[in-house]
Structure 1
Amino acid sequence: MSAERPTMPPVRLNSEAELARDALAAPLLVRAVRLARWAGPDTRVGAGGELVEAQLPAAAEHLGLAADEDGAAYASEAWRLAVDTGLLDVTDPDGDALPDGADGPEAEGTVTAGENLALLTGGSPQDVLAIWLDGLDAVHADATAPVLDDFEDLVGEDGSIDFDALDWDPEAEAEFLDGVLGNLYLLTLADSGAGDEPVPLPALAASMIVPDDMGEPTDDILEQVSEAMMRLDDQFRLLEPIGLVEYRPVDEALLVEEGEAPDGSAADADEDDVTRYGMVKLTPLGLYGVRTRMQEAGVDAPAVGDLADKGAEALLDGIAYYPESAARAEVELWLAARGTGDAVAAAADLLAAARGTDEGAPLRRLHCQQALALAGPEAEPAVRAVLDDPRLGGLARVWLAERGAADVPAPPEDMIFWLAVDTIAAHLDADGELDELQGLVEGLSTQHSGFFDEVWRVDHPATADVLEAMGRLHSDKKSAKEARKAAFKARSRAGG
């Protein structure tokens, strides 16, 4: 059976130790830790666990923030994260309310250090990352919460908030942001995982709004993109302090109506400078965080190294549709896990896994050959052991010849043709570059005189399909016609 293509390309993650160090350095988590260590028996919190307003100036001062509205907001944000990640434990009060006439909220709780606070310094990298992921979930929830511009209009007579009046769908909001992060993840892994350049915010918003088959976007679509940009600008400002992204916000001068800025900044703004509309990229920690969230949602998001402890068949099936550089890295890790002392056994396992007549077998054999190229000369005994195998013998001869090995027997003619069909079938399954595939087709067919007169007889499940593809791809009209005739003969021979 052909291997299933993963939903996402493979990602190369930093080590857990490196990711944990990045998590501990995330500004918001740093502030949360400082407040968790600052809190004591006299710290006053509301019934919901929030730091009471009277305590915010002292909390902001402890964090080195200004004693103003912004400082209080940052302190409150860090406190909430400390509670949400278990750095602090808040105990609900025993009584229903404070005594009559007492100042303060209706009820207050007590706060103590949480178990997770010690784990940040004494736990494993996995412990640190688990705490950080809890923090990411909390910040993600904040980022998708409704914007309460007219809060007073939403409060009913009984003091409750009318969330229906918000026209807010929490699942849709979360799904949209996760979709944006998924697209950013894909763009980061583009070109074999280069992803060094930040992505313009308009392009990221458009990737979620503009239909793929739309030519020129309509005014309505452009307005939706603009609205999404502004929402994403707010969200990425929240996600940056937890270490998920590096973000250059939208230039506020662009948000000022022409003529309203007294200093003329809006009028002088260079609207063609795309960087002024916001630029974002995932950090290495962000790649880890988004991948984890996708996996929890059931998305197939592999990482290089996932297959290092698996069997040879799982390796060859797993890398079937990996980009070349990622496949090479995965094989290197797989071989390293077995050590140089087991090179012969590893090569034998790879060759055994390459057998088969199923749809995915040609691609497994192609990746087996590429894996053996990394195994080194120590693999030679295992390779020589399959020289007489009608399905692996051609592969073995290629491997030995590339290393200048002596005493390599010449392949029988039927093995040559079988290997040609198998090789083209593998490349067709891999969906490689068209020019490269065309060169392979023409190269193999011209190496042997009378190729199409003989190849249709090859006992390979993909013979007819390969010949039909050669008829489509061959640039020489005469050869293309011969390939189509041979494909017809192959199907007739197979009774199909």
Structure 2
Amino acid sequence: MSGDRPTLPPVRLHSEAELARAALAAPLLARAARLARWAGPGTRVGAGGELVEEQLPAAAEALGLTADEDGAADASEAWRIAVDAGLVDVTDAEDEDGEGTAVAGESLALLTSGSPQDVLTTWLDAFDAVFADATAPVLDDFADLIGDDGELDFDRLDWDPQAEADFLEGVLGNLYLLTVTEGGAGEGPVPLPALAASMIVPDDMGEPTDDILEQVSDAMMRLDDQFRLLEPIGLVEYRPVDEALMAEEGEEPAPPVDDEDVARYGMVRLTPLGLYGVRARMLEAGVEAPAVGDLADKGADVLLDGIAYYPEAAARAETEQWLARHELPSAVRELLAAARGSDERGPLRRLHCQQALALTGPEAEPALREVLDDAELGGLARVWLAERGAADVPAPPEAMVFWLAVDTIAAQLAVDGDLEELQGLVEGLVGQHSGFFDAAWRVEHPATADVLEAMGRLHPDKKVAKEARKAAFKARSRA
């Protein structure tokens, strides 16, 4: 069954309107849009669409930057994003110098008059462009590869563009997983050393070797450069590596001493917009990356199967959205119908059906009373009615009580529930019913034998555990 589990936990995204506002506020996209509005018929560009050098001081001034080398570099970067995101369209070269001109592109109007989805599509194009920049070689490190003609000899350049892209994709994927996993980083930042180590250190390695530590250190320095580039597009919030840690230029930083020292080695977190962007790249690559709300317009059968292995908070949020889009009590009847079944996933569907029903009010009662005599649903219906103090709820037959007990434990086993909680459940069931195993092995449930074996492993009393194993043997013999 574990093979059916989603690759990643579901992410809780902000609304498209909120994400679009964040995209428009991203410094790099905002600068690119300002340059696109600044550009006119006299704007000159090179053969590759870049602003010619003579235009850079004016572009920097249009952005409120100084007209020095740094301002020109920032203006050049913003212009490249404007071109790659479709905020400007570059015409073909028209003169003998090979220069062309630029006009406003279709995407520029979408930033102000388009839908939130239009804005986010443009932002994703800008993110793709920044990602490409972040995985490009740092040419300053390859000065010796510049030939006499001033051109870079790519044949001698030790750079694998696909490997570089895969590494950064993996880093962002790990950061995404840490953010969306319950018990992970959540909203907090992740230390850069830990993120680099997650890509370098093998899972089964105890004490990292000096070679591995050197690789982690190299990866940290590369990631430091990359996150500095990714922050202005709004993907991450980043605290860079403290340059004071470097004893001399070119030296590797010493290992951190304590938790406070770790922060000086770089801290990074995905923004809500970053979560959206990384997920979009994952989906494009064919990765299963669910989001809360994906199932809200689906049937109850899809809902109960879809949230089978969601973390508790995400499952509740998904169910709340589903219920909000459906009319009760017809939605309750649909949930109950979807919860039926003797297949392997049946217990888990019924568990999540029960949790969904806990979110409903009095209007659900008629539908629940309709299934009181149902062998699979009668028990959970009685639980719901009893918890709300409903009158005239018939006592369940003994067979239903034991069937519900087996079904409940089977569901907990399917999701690898909390061990202590599961042990408490087992002890409570055995303690409440004298002769529990004498009756339990006869239960007509496909998981009876597996549940009894598990009870034998979980119960701390050796005598009771032995009784459980004997009951499991009887159940298998009967089957």
TM-score higher than 0.5: yes
Instruction: Indicate the residue corresponding to 1:78 in structure 2.
Output: 78
Q: Which moved more, 1:86-95 or 1:296-305?
A: 86-95
Distance 1:280 1:397, change over 3 A: same
Which of 356, 361, 364 is residue 379 of structure 1 equivalent to? 364
8 Å CA contact retained: 1:35, 1:79: yes
Alpha-carbon distance, 1:147 to partner: 1.2
1:174 equivalenced with 2:162 (yes/no): no
Distance (Å, rounded) in 2 between the aligned partners of 1:218 and 1:3: 34
Which of 278, 291, 303 is residue 315 of structure 1 equivalent to? 303
8 Å CA contact retained: 1:3, 1:360: no
| Structure 2 counterpart SS, 1:220 | helix
AA matched with 2:199:
M
Same amino acid, percent of matched pairs: 80
Map 1:36-75 → 2, pairs under 5 A? 36-75=36-75
Distance (Å, rounded) in 2 between the aligned partners of 1:436 and 1:219: 43
Instruction: Indicate the residue corresponding to 1:18 in structure 2.
Output: 18
Distance (Å, rounded) in 1 between the aligned partners of 2:194 and 2:322: 38
AA matched with 1:396:
A
Which of 164, 172, 191 is residue 200 of structure 1 equivalent to? 191
Distance (Å, rounded) in 1 between the aligned partners of 2:438 and 2:419: 25
Map 1:65-464 → 2, pairs under 5 A? 65-94=65-94, 98=96, 106-156=97-147, 161-191=152-182, 195-257=186-248, 273-338=261-326, 342-464=327-449
Deviations 1:334-357 (A, max 9, x none): 01111xxx2110000000000011
AA matched with 1:414:
A
Gaps of 5+ in 1: 99-105, 261-265
| Structure 1 counterpart SS, 2:89 | strand
Distance 1:270 1:426, change over 3 A: closer
Q: Which moved more, 1:364-373 or 1:167-176?
A: 167-176
Distance 1:473 1:314, change over 3 A: same
Distance (Å, rounded) in 1 between the aligned partners of 2:157 and 2:453: 59
Alpha-carbon distance, 1:270 to partner: 8.4
AA matched with 1:166:
L
| Structure 1 counterpart SS, 2:140 | coil
The number of residues matched between the two structures is 475
Distance (Å, rounded) in 2 between the aligned partners of 1:27 and 1:476: 63
8 Å CA contact retained: 2:441, 2:449: yes
| Structure 1 counterpart SS, 2:328 | helix
8 Å CA contact retained: 1:36, 1:82: yes
Distance (Å, rounded) in 1 between the aligned partners of 2:330 and 2:184: 32
Alpha-carbon distance, 1:6 to partner: 1.0
Distance (Å, rounded) in 1 between the aligned partners of 2:242 and 2:183: 32
CA-atom RMSD, angstroms? 1.9
| Structure 2 counterpart SS, 1:18 | helix
Alpha-carbon distance, 1:257 to partner: 2.3
| Structure 2 counterpart SS, 1:305 | coil
Distance 1:192 1:257, change over 3 A: closer
Alpha-carbon distance, 1:150 to partner: 4.9
AA matched with 2:108:
L
Alpha-carbon distance, 1:196 to partner: 2.0
Alpha-carbon distance, 1:157 to partner: 6.4
8 Å CA contact retained: 1:192, 1:323: no
Map 1:459-470 → 2, pairs under 5 A? 459-470=444-455
Distance (Å, rounded) in 2 between the aligned partners of 1:52 and 1:310: 53
Distance (Å, rounded) in 2 between the aligned partners of 1:297 and 1:440: 42
Deviations 1:218-244 (A, max 9, x none): 100000000000000000000000000
AA matched with 1:5:
R
Alpha-carbon distance, 1:158 to partner: 6.8
Alpha-carbon distance, 1:155 to partner: 4.2
AA matched with 2:154:
F
Distance (Å, rounded) in 1 between the aligned partners of 2:270 and 2:210: 30
Alpha-carbon distance, 1:2 to partner: 8.1
Alpha-carbon distance, 1:441 to partner: 1.2
| Structure 2 counterpart SS, 1:375 | coil
Distance (Å, rounded) in 2 between the aligned partners of 1:412 and 1:150: 78
| Structure 1 counterpart SS, 2:34 | helix
AA matched with 2:300:
A
8 Å CA contact retained: 1:384, 1:396: yes
Alpha-carbon distance, 1:487 to partner: 0.6
8 Å CA contact retained: 2:178, 2:185: no
Distance (Å, rounded) in 2 between the aligned partners of 1:445 and 1:237: 59
| Structure 2 counterpart SS, 1:491 | helix
Instruction: Indicate the residue corresponding to 2:28 in structure 1.
Output: 28
AA matched with 1:421:
V
Which of 467, 471, 481 is residue 466 of structure 2 equivalent to? 481
8 Å CA contact retained: 1:2, 1:360: no
AA matched with 1:215:
G
Alpha-carbon distance, 1:437 to partner: 0.9
Deviations 1:304-324 (A, max 9, x none): 111110000110011111111
Distance 1:150 1:366, change over 3 A: closer
Alpha-carbon distance, 1:152 to partner: 4.9
8 Å CA contact retained: 2:85, 2:125: yes
Alpha-carbon distance, 1:109 to partner: 1.1
Instruction: Indicate the residue corresponding to 1:102 in structure 2.
Output: none
TM-score of the pair, normalised by structure 1: 0.93
Alpha-carbon distance, 1:159 to partner: 6.3
AA matched with 2:223:
L
AA matched with 1:323:
P
8 Å CA contact retained: 1:2, 1:359: no
8 Å CA contact retained: 1:422, 1:462: yes
Distance 1:445 1:150, change over 3 A: closer
| Structure 1 counterpart SS, 2:364 | helix
TM-score of the pair, normalised by structure 2: 0.96
Gaps of 5+ in 2: none
8 Å CA contact retained: 1:393, 1:415: yes
